[in-house]
Chains A and B, each alone.
Chain A
Amino acid sequence: MDTIFALATVRGKAGVSIIRISGADAFTGVRCLLKTDLPQPRQSALRKLYGEDGELIDQALLLAFDKDHSFTGEQTVELHIHGSPAVQTMLLNHLSTLNGFRIADPGEFTRRALENGRLDLSRVEGLADLINAETEAQRKQAMRLFSGELAEKSVLWRTKLIRAAALMQATIDFADEEVPEDVSSEVLGLLRDVISDLDHQVKGYAASERIRSGFEVAIVGRPNVGKSTLLNALARRDAAITSHIPGTTRDIVEVQMDLNGLPVTVIDTAGLRETADEIETIGIDRAKRRASDADLRVFLIDPEDEIQEVTQHADDIVVIGKGDLRPIDGLSVSGKTGAGLNQLIDLIVKALEGRTQGAGLAVRERHRVAVEDTIAKLDSAVLLIQKGEQYTDLSAEELRSAIHSISSIIGIVDVEDILDEVFSSFCLGK
């Protein structure tokens, strides 16, 4: 298998850049760059790196990892070089001339870690989320996944279901022997435990998914109440065009931001009014649709004008716009002066944080599908078990496919696992 290498840090000027090299020939390959030997595994040391013609390329800090003690599970070397584009290019070019060396495909280091059993699938997903995490809530959630919480939970659910399946299979395959005749109460207990855990995950999915991909908050209101000015103030830049002319915003303007650690996309929409302008009408229809799909709506109003064309939900926030022009009681906000802006942000964060409370471990669509599929099959298994012994073959089938579904989160289940459980639990054999 090839030895792969790549720049582990962003390409371009920086204080330090890191080149990572992984594969069976990592040590021998890097030795070609050195006039002395590699440092001891997991001990850093300064080394001079030379090109083919013996010319000094850079001075770098080297770290070597033995096979089985590295991220990929293969021999790995890290070159901590000076962050110069010229040094980066020269070293990468030089490495690619080495026999059996090639530049890594995207994600290949992680893939090798997966294939060498260093990470399971859910941890790989966690790692991807962690690298992409931009806010504190995303980091926390990704870290839970990466540290293996979902994998551990899945193993636990799977263990319980395998135990339940083993009990049922024992009464089927060893009907003539001394196994307990009625195992249904233990089986039902195990299934219900798992179902209630999984239900919890499904309920938390919406929140987890939002933390991963961001919440949507729509600013809605009549034309010229200051929606775009508010958006710009929240974004701290001129994202939307503002003017005193009603109907300036026609299409939807989105800005992503970090509100107290939460990933939020704020949406500015066309002001809601009756208009003959064809393009503005399309914009208003879009505004209504996006606003109703959003997680939260901020209704920016003119106190004299109460017309609402978008349904208001319980958590939605109503504030009075152009607060600078109207010094009145109640919450008002001014995008122009920033008055009331912090209070508004607090309100938005409070509303959204409430929804992150039940965030579960199932954070991807793939997880949700596996979990819901498992619940559906376990529900039918429970029904069939309660109906009695003559349905054992059917309930066992439901359970078998439930185990298959839950295992897809981490790996594949095997009938030998069930037989192992059977044999360690019962004294079998006439």
Chain B
Amino acid sequence: MKQYDVVVIGGGHAGCEAAYASARLGAETLLITMKMSDLGVMSCNPAIGGLGKGHLVREIDAMDGIMGKVADAAGIQFRLLNRRKGPAVQGPRAQADRALYQAAMQKHILGSDHLDVIEGEVIDFQVDKQKVTGVMLRDGSKIAARNTVLTTGTFLRGIIHIGDVSYSGGRMGDEASTKLCERIDSFDLPKGRLKTGTPPRLDSRTINWSELEMQPGDETPTLFSFMSIKPAAKQISCGITHTNEKTHQIIRQNLDKSAMYGGHIEGIGPRYCPSIEDKIVRFADKQSHQIFLEPEGLNNHMIYPNGISTSLPVDIQEAYVRSIKGLENVSIIQPGYAIEYDYIDPRALNGQLRLKDFENLYFAGQINGTTGYEEAAAQGLVAGLNAALSAKGQGPITFMRSDSYIGVMIDDLITRGVTEPYRMFTSRAEFRLSLRADNADQRLTPLAFKLGCVSSKRRKLFDKKMDQINRCVDVLVSSYFTPKEISDHGYKINQDGARRSAFDLLSFPDMDFDFISGLIPSIDRYPSDIQQQVKKDALYANYIERQKRDIEALQRDEAIKIPPSLDYGSIEGLSAELKLKLQKTRPETIAQASKIDGMTPAALTLLLAIIRKYEKRKIA
């Protein structure tokens, strides 16, 4: 029987990232995909990144992950969102060519050391008490694994709906796996049901582009990977059109035929990505909704109309799409559909995405109740790294709310669970000013060095960059100027007599390096990308200093571990409701406990006291 350190089931974004991360740590890794053609496929919209999501991609890249590099290779339109707002809320986004994306992903995965890929269907785990020791394939072959990572997306009781027609399946054309499903049921994990939808895919050749507004990419594209220099593929524009009163009328008249409104769907859909039916019902006074027409590739006629996901019958989809400007004669290549699926309540997982009650089994991606490629990949990274570390007998890595969006997401998932498909937003990060897309490498790459999952090429590049930044900052913090010197150079400043360092000056948002080089000519020796980075770091320096106290308080709370065996039922002074919630979530730290809905300061103090007592007893 073949033996691996880590077996990853599933070849989507979570699976690829998990397998790639595990292999980077030198763990012997196997990725099992149902079909080779599924490996690295973009199953929904042809775009990567955005606000919050772009941050995740940068962080994955800072850990030397795969998504950023692949997205840069496949990007056909790059836009930095919130370009006019502060750098802390800017998020890189790109339209990707599906074929290029998959090709780049497969190249990296298949060319990776310590990583095997096979085609096959996992139908069961090999289980020994509370341990998963390997997997069994449909052909009867068995593979032993120290750790297993399950990244199977929507395969748990996935049902696809188009109007009143429904059939089971993971995605369009995929078969649902029932055996593995039964095995997971036998673990008796808490589960919930969610739904999500897709729009009809349109034939680009039947769209009247000349009538439509076009949106080009940025003139100077912002890429995802800290290693990339410029886009690899030809750059294109997206089209913009809008629904109108006629569209809304068609949809309103046929609402009862929609799977969602016809009562066929029980799962909960995301509030930030409603179907067109939902938009028209919930925001009835809005006369028009925007649609982005996103090309799926350079040599592909498929267009993804972003904004009109639906579960109406095919003929109604055709009717309403054709009521839209520019789409009068459009033909639908593949109808839109809604999909419902079960997810595992992520509160059953720990900070490494391993099941709390089941050693050796990790979960990552949509199966944990999230949505989006980036969220899936980031979880894949966490699960893959930890599965490999544990297989090698090393301690785990935990991402923190104070060091990354990855940490924010994992913490949200495992302490609060989900009520709708979980998507990253920048507003979820309380330390948003320090967790920026631009400094993801400064935050995480040193951590990746320590783990040993970074290529020497990236290491050299990063060291060089940090060396320049540090030297530049050294010059800036040690050069002081009087208000008079500053105003003599043409910058209006309070004549308060206080000398300010050049770094302090850079913390003023309207101050730039052009001005600083008037004061310190030698600063011009640093390249403009280094200067830009230093400017961003300086801009937030004061706020980050202020947030340090909050971060320290949080880290203190994160450091206080709650014994897993703590019996909440026996704690005097906790309300019955809190006891139940604590028992269900079983927080690992005081920080996690404090985020449980309904937690009071008094109850937290009580918990702290109990932990102290518990630790003393253990020592005694």
Query: A: which residues have CB within 8 A of B?
Result: 1-2, 73, 111-112, 114-117, 169, 172-178, 387, 389-394, 396-397, 400, 411-412, 414-416, 418-419, 423, 427-430
Listed by A's residue number, 22 A-B pairs whose Cβ atoms lie within 8 Å are A112-B573, A117-B575, A169-B427, A172-B89, A174-B272, A175-B51, A175-B81, A391-B86, A393-B86, A394-B543, A396-B89, A415-B428, A415-B430, A418-B427, A419-B425, A427-B282, A428-B272, A428-B273, A429-B274, A429-B279, A429-B307, A430-B290
User: With an 8 A cutoff between CB atoms, is B264 at the interface?
Assistant: no
Say yes or no: is B482 at the interface (Cβ < 8 Å to chain A): no
Q: How far is the CB of B70 from chain A (nearest CB, A)?
A: 22
Across the two chains, which residue of chain A brings its CB closest to B286? A427
When distances are taken between beta carbons in the complex, the residues of chain A under 8 Å from B286 are 427
Give the shortest distance, in Å, between A117 (CB) and chain B (any CB): 7
In the complex, whether B583 has a CB less than 8 A from a CB of chain A is: no
Most B CB within 10 A of own CB, among A111, A177, A423, A429? A429
Given contacts A111-B602, A115-B602, A115-B603, contact A389 B84 (CB under 8 A): yes
- Enumerate chain B interface residues (CB-CB to A < 8 A): 50-52, 81-82, 84-89, 93, 270-274, 279, 282-283, 286, 289-292, 306-307, 416, 425-428, 430, 432-433, 509, 543, 571-575, 578, 597-600, 602-603
Select from chain A the residue with minimum beta-carbon distance to B283: A427
**In contact, A427 and B274 (Cβ under 8 angstroms):** yes
Bound form: Cα–Cα A174–B52 in Å: 10
Enumerate chain A residues within 8 angstroms of B291, measured Cβ to Cβ: 430
Q: Which residues in B have their C-beta under 8 angstroms from that of A390? A: 84-86, 509
Q: Decide if B282 touches A393 in the complex (CB within 8 Å).
A: no
Q: Closest chain A residue to B542 by CB distance? A: A394
Which A residues are in CB contact (< 8 Å) with B273? 428-430
Across the interface, which residues of A come within 8 angstroms of B578, CB to CB?
A: 115
Is B427 touching A419 in the complex (CB atoms < 8 A)? yes
Residue of A1, A172, A394, A411 with highest tally of chain B CB at under 10 A: A172
Smallest CB separation, B310 vs chain A (Å): 12
**Cβ of B428: which chain A residues have Cβ within 8 Å of it?**
415, 419
Q: Are A172 and B82 in contact (CB under 8 A)?
A: yes
Q: Which of B286, B306, B427, B575 has the most CB of A within 10 A?
A: B427
Bound CA span A390–B87, Å: 9
Residues of B within 8 A of A115 (CB): 573-575, 578, 600, 602-603
Number of A-B residue pairs at CB separation under 8 A: 114
Q: Which 4 residue pairs across A and B have the least CB separation, nearest first?
A: A393-B86, A427-B283, A430-B307, A423-B271
CA–CA, A289 and B603, complex, Å: 44
CB-contact partner of B574 in A1, A177, A415, A416, under 8 A: A1
Selected contact of A397 from candidates B270, B433, B573, CB within 8 Å: B433
Set of chain B residues within 8 Å of A429, measured between Cβ atoms: 270-274, 279, 307
| Nearest opposing residue in chain A for B271, CB measure | A423
**Which A residues touch B290, using CB under 8 A?**
177-178, 430
Apart from A389-B85, A392-B86, list 18 A-B contacts with CB within 8 A.
Answer: A1-B574, A111-B573, A117-B598, A172-B51, A177-B290, A178-B289, A390-B509, A393-B87, A397-B432, A415-B427, A415-B430, A423-B272, A428-B271, A428-B274, A429-B272, A429-B279, A430-B273, A430-B290
Closest to A418 in B: B427
Measured between beta carbons, the chain A residues less than 8 angstroms from B283 are 427
Whether the pair B51, A393 counts as a contact (CB closer than 8 A) is no
B307, A393: Cβ atoms under 8 Å?
Answer: no
Is the contact region of chain A dominated by helix, strand, or loop, or is it mixed? helix
Residues of A within 8 A of B426 (CB): 172-173
Interchain CA distance A411-B597 in the complex, whole Å: 11
For B81, B87, B272, B290, the residue with the greatest tally of chain A CB atoms inside 10 Å of its CB is B272
- What is the bound-complex CA distance between A213 and B279, given in angstroms? 57
A297 to chain B, nearest CB (A): 40
Measured CB to CB, the closest approach of chain B to A192, in angstroms, equals 23
For A393, give its contact among B430, B433, B573 (CB under 8 Å): B433
A172 touches B572 (CB 8 A): no
Q: When the two chains form their complex, are residues B307 and A175 in contact, meaning their CB atoms are under 8 A apart?
A: no
A115 to B289, alpha carbons, bound, how many Å? 47
Is B279 a contact of A427 with CB atoms below 8 Å? yes
Cβ contact within 8 Å between B52 and A392: no
Which residue of chain A lies nearest to B279 when distances are taken between CB atoms in the complex? A427
| A393–B432 touching, CB < 8 Å | yes
Residues of A with C-beta under 8 A to B52: 173
CA–CA, A149 to B488, complex, Å?
Answer: 55
* Highest count of chain B CB atoms <10 Å: which of A175, A387, A414, A419: A175
Please determine whether A393 and B88 come into contact, CB atoms closer than 8 angstroms.
Answer: yes
Alpha-carbon gap, A428 to B283, bound state (A): 10
Contact A393 B85 (CB under 8 A): yes
- How close is B90's CB to chain A, nearest CB, in angstroms? 9
A263, B291: Cα distance in complex, Å: 68
User: By the criterion CB–CB under 8 Å, are B306 and A430 in contact?
Assistant: yes
> CB-nearest residue of chain A relative to B85?
A392
- Distance (whole angstroms) from the CB of B587 to the closest CB of chain A: 16
Query: Which residues of chain B have C-beta atoms less than 8 A from A416's C-beta?
Result: 416
Q: Which residues of A contact B84 (CB under 8 A)?
A: 389-390
The answer to whether A1 and B573 touch (CB under 8 A), given A390-B509, A427-B279, A429-B273, is yes
Residues in chain A near residue B50, CB distance under 8 A: 176
B595 shortest CB reach to chain A, Å: 8
B288 to chain A: closest residue by CB? A178
Minimal beta-carbon separation of A182 from chain B (angstroms): 12
Q: Are A176 and B543 in contact (CB under 8 A)?
A: no
Q: Which B residue's beta carbon lies closest to that of A173?
A: B425
Contact flag A2-B572 (CB < 8 Å), given A430-B291, A430-B306: yes
Inter-chain contact B51/A173, CB cutoff 8 Å: yes
Nearest B residue to A387, CB-CB: B509
Q: How far is the CA of A396 from the CA of B89 in the complex (A)?
A: 10
Residues of B with C-beta under 8 A to A111? 573, 602
In the bound complex, residues from chain B placing their C-beta under 8 Å from that of A428 are 271-274
Q: How far does the Cβ of B84 sit from chain A's closest Cβ, in whole Å?
A: 5
Q: Are A427 and B575 in contact (CB under 8 A)?
A: no
* Cα A429 to Cα B600 with chains together (Å): 35
CA distance A430 to B597 in the complex (A): 31
Report A80 CB to chain B, min CB distance, Å: 27
Provide the bound-state CA to CA distance between A416 and B598, in Å.
13
Name the residue on A nearest B599 (C-beta).
Answer: A412
Least CB distance, B344 to chain A, in whole angstroms: 21
Closest chain-B Cβ to A75's Cβ sits at a distance in Å of: 12
Quick check: A391 and B427 within 8 Å, CB to CB?
no
Verify B432–A173 contact, CB threshold 8 A.
no
- Interface residue from A1, A114, A397, A419 paired with B602 (Cβ < 8 Å): A114
**Chain A, residue nearest B578 (CB):** A115
Cβ B574 vs Cβ A172 within 8 A: no
Question: Which residues of chain B have C-beta atoms less than 8 A from A419's C-beta?
Answer: 425, 427-428
Smallest beta-carbon distance A181→chain B, Å? 10
Most buried by A among B52, B85, B603: B85
Bound together, the chains give a CA A397 to CA B550 distance in angstroms of 13
Asked if B89 contacts A392 (CB within 8 A), the reply is yes
* Given A178-B289, A418-B427: A172 touches B274 (CB 8 Å cut-off): no
Which chain A residue shows the least CB distance to B294?
A430
Residues of B near A173 (CB, < 8 A) are: 51-52, 425-427
Bound-state CA distance A95–B85 (Å) is 66
Bound CA span A206–B375, Å: 51
- State A397–B87 Cα separation when bound (angstroms): 13
Q: Give A10 Cβ to nearest chain B Cβ, in Å.
A: 26
CB distance from B276 to the nearest CB of A (A): 9
- Chain B: minimal CB distance from A227 (Å): 48
Q: Is the CB of B85 within 8 A of A172?
A: yes
A231 to B: closest C-beta gap in Å: 44
Q: Which residue of chain A has the shortest Cβ distance to B603 in the bound complex?
A: A115
Chain A residues lying within 8 Å of B89, measured Cβ to Cβ, are: 172, 392-393, 396
- B427 to A, closest residue via Cβ: A169
- In the assembled complex, the Cα of A393 lies from the Cα of B86 at a distance in Å of 6
A386 to B609, alpha carbons, bound, how many Å?
47
State whether B81 touches A176 (Cβ < 8 A).
yes
A377 to chain B, nearest CB (A): 10
User: What residue of chain A has the Cβ atom nearest to residue B543's Cβ?
Assistant: A397
B86 to nearest A CB, angstroms? 3
